[in-house]
Structure 1
Amino acid sequence: MNRFNSSILLICAFLYSIFISFNQVELLYVLPIFFVTFCEYKSLFSIIKKLIFLNLFILMIFVVLLIQDSFEEAINIYIRTNMIVFFNLLLFSQSSGYDIVRALNELRFPKKVVSSVYFTLKMIQTLNDELKKIKMTLRARGFRANSSMFTYETYGNLFGHIFVKSIIKANALQDSFELRGFGGRIYLINNSKLSYYDVILLFLVCMLYVKVFV
């Protein structure tokens, strides 16, 4: 989401998630969602698709709560969970993940935390690219997934290959750091500025806290 500052996104995501988690749902609480939806209307369809997929897991929580507790409590938690997930999906729909690293750096998080998050994202991206290559290779060889033993063996070999690959890359990365005298800090260019979108979003989120305490 280029029109927003990555630090503001991270702060608002944290504040909104905490607030919704510990308060009963009211109509006013959807204002930040409406605002970000207006800003991200072009990618709204893909975001809703992700939300529907995640609801498969959220519904499991709803069913468990429905069995153990009252219907009102279960539906309240279901709505709150969807609000938090939807809001965060809207905020970070255009993020590559490295925006979060830049936000952590701008917010003066410990340098080792910033470095750890950065290299974790880098490793995930590398392994994801490796998985895509393997899937393309299997597809080119005419592999079709079914319930046969051959399919299970293929998937077992696939995950085993990725696991070994991750260990090899991690060891290579460690050796590279030691040779370069890495001190636990990565240097990022922080050139993001606040816009009126940031001010409005932060105001809407903070307004929720003001309403509770005033």
Structure 2
Amino acid sequence: MLLTAAARLSWAAILRRLLIVNSFNALLWLLLPLTYGGTEVVRFAGLNLSLTGLRLAALITIKGNAAVLLFISLLSTSTVARLGHSLQLLRLSPRLCLLLLFSYRYLGLIHEEFLRLHRAAELRCFHPRTNLHTYRTYGHLLGMVIVRSWNRAARVQQAMLLRGFSGTFHSLEPTELHRNDVLLMAGLLLTALLLVVLELIG
């Protein structure tokens, strides 16, 4: 929560993401106290609730929300291009870094292409139903998206080769390690070590 507050992100967007995570946690709160078992039992509304199940549901909820807040605060403050370049500087596979960058860049374009073809089908009075015509139409639609994506990928590859692309990603923004970065990394490592020690002691 401290990292999220320091990142100065929109709390409304954060709460929407946490709502998705906690919808799964709500199911755990309903099932674990009733099914986990154990000797310690708490009676509530005529039901025998396992105290161990309640503790486990609370632990999963706290850890899940902490992990989501950690990723949001660390990843939302950086662009995908800078993230890909940083992963490459950490000696991650260059192919994986390029896959991340190209996926982020072109998934939106592929989605736009799908929406354009879907609008064209609707202008031709296409109304989806549970019949063979609808399944065939969606099959043709997805086939056209794959074909056009393949053609676009071929054009992009040719354009990059013409510009001398050799498989290495170069960033236009200089990457420098500042004192605040070192302090943040040290603080996160010490916190992680403390959590591991507490887990072993508990």
Question: Where on the TM-score scale, by shorter chain, does this alignment land: which range?
Answer: 0.5 to 0.7
- Give runs of aligned pairs for residues 1-214 of structure 1, distance below 5 A: 33-41=1-9, 43-57=10-24, 59=26, 62=28, 66=32, 69=36, 71=53, 72-131=55-114, 133=116, 137=119, 158-174=141-157, 182-195=165-178, 197-211=180-194, 212-213=196-197
Paired amino acid for 1:52: L
Q: How many residues were matched structurally?
A: 179
Instruction: Sort the Cα spacing of 1:107 and 1:175 in 2 relative to 1 into closer, same or farther, 3 A.
Output: same
Asked if 2 retains the 8 angstrom alpha-carbon contact of 1:130 and 1:162, the reply is yes
> Matched residues in 1 for 2:139 and 2:183: separation?
49
C-alpha RMSD of matched pairs (Å): 4.1
Q: Which has the larger radius of gyration?
A: 2
TM-score normalised by structure 1 residue count: 0.59
Paired amino acid for 2:190: M
Which secondary structure does the structure 2 equivalent of 1:187 belong to?
coil
Larger relative contact order (C-alpha < 8 A, sep ≥ 6)? 1
Which secondary structure does the structure 2 equivalent of 1:108 belong to?
coil
Asked if 2 retains the 8 angstrom alpha-carbon contact of 1:98 and 1:121, the reply is no
Displacement of 1:191: 0.9
> Matched residues in 2 for 1:160 and 1:58: separation?
38
Displacement of 1:177: 5.7
Deviation readout 1:79-126 (Å, 9 max, x if unpaired): 212211122122223444222212112323333332232222222232
Deviation readout 1:137-163 (Å, 9 max, x if unpaired): 47x95x9x9876688777666544433
Paired amino acid for 1:50: R
> Matched residues in 2 for 1:202 and 1:124: separation?
32
> Matched residues in 1 for 2:146 and 2:20: separation?
26
Which secondary structure does the structure 2 equivalent of 1:198 belong to?
helix
Paired amino acid for 1:97: V
